[in-house]
A and B are shown apart, each in its own frame.
Chain A
Amino acid sequence: MPHDHHDHDHDTPHSHTGMSPSGHPYRQDQDQPLTYWQNMEISIRELMIEKGIFTELEIMHAIDSMDSRSPADGAKVVARAWTDPEFNARLLADGSAASREMGFDIGAMRLIAVENTKTVHNVIVCTLCSCYPRNLLGLPPDWYKQRAYRSRVVKTPRAVLKEFGLTLPEDVTIRVHDSTADMRYIVIPARPQGTETLSEEALAALVSRDSMIGVALAVIPK
């Protein structure tokens, strides 16, 4: 769903009045009053600053720190797992400890790594909200938080994966993991064939965000 043209009227010819040069509607200014929860967030934040619990600068640094995390961090963990069987075993036994061992500051996150094989394919969801291994992979994609993905992937995972361009044979077991509580999940995609000579860094470049959620495979190098 790359395009959300709420303002398009497909029954009439496009006049493109009020459209940007790329033919998309301009985003509306947020002139409506604050919602109850927006007021609540601002009030509590300002109170905590007033009481000296933290400063504006510390909030900005916390946001910067979250924004600096990206799927590239997770890809490095996967590439290490592909090249070092002992690390892979430690990662499967305790995902948090193995991530910290590589130097990633993942805070209090409890991580479980699940491994794709010739016979098992794993896919991650949070049906209740949007639990995601943010401390390792950064912010989740929008579709991960939407009701369509959350409600459908637990019932028809094969149909959903097909929409992502991934058709799996019937003899591959799909394991869906619903992050309902305290754990977060990362999929270790299967290492593509023909990558025996690649460096760990080159291998990490084959590991996409989507492959670590389980809606894609690792990229096969050209």
Chain B
Amino acid sequence: MMTERVRVKEMFPPGHVRTPFYLRGKTGEIERSLGPFGNPEQLAYGVSADELPMHRVRFTMAEIWGSDAENPRDTLDAEIYSHWLTPIKD
């Protein structure tokens, strides 16, 4: 199976955002795709929400924390909505 590599957009919009700061700008692999789910950035304000694909993205600790990582091969998975991800072409 081809692994799909993605980068989390490094943007900082105000409001109810469910993309953690510590993952913005980081690159990972899609572990599995889920959804569609309503965009929480709209749901939080009671407006009609776009239905978006949501991906579980797996990052290595080395990617997130650099040389501070306890064990660079350990991983972190997080759920990221599609509008926060940019595909990376190898």
The 8 Å CB contact of B74, one of A128, A173, A179, A180, is A173
Interchain CB contact under 8 A, B20 and A175: no
Instruction: Decide if B44 is an interface residue (CB 8 Å cutoff).
Output: no
Size category of the B interface is 20 to 34
Instruction: Decide if B79 is an interface residue (CB 8 Å cutoff).
Output: yes
Interface size on A, residues (CB 8 A): 21
- Report how far A180 CA is from B20 CA in the complex, Å: 8
Instruction: Decide if A10 is an interface residue (CB 8 Å cutoff).
Output: no
Interchain CB contact under 8 A, B74 and A177: no
Q: Can you offer 23 A-B residue contacts whose CB atoms are under 8 A?
A: A110-B34, A128-B18, A128-B20, A154-B22, A155-B64, A157-B74, A158-B70, A158-B74, A159-B70, A173-B73, A174-B71, A175-B58, A176-B76, A177-B77, A178-B76, A178-B79, A180-B79, A181-B40, A181-B81, A182-B37, A183-B34, A183-B56, A183-B79
Total number of residue pairs linking A and B with CB closer than 8 Å: 66
Interchain CB contact under 8 A, B75 and A180: no
Q: Which of A158, A159, A177, A179 has the most CB of B within 10 A?
A: A177
Known: A176-B74, A177-B76, A178-B79. 7 other contacts (CB 8 A): A154-B64, A154-B76, A158-B71, A175-B58, A178-B77, A181-B40, A182-B34
Q: Which of A110, A179, A181 has the most CB of B within 10 A?
A: A181
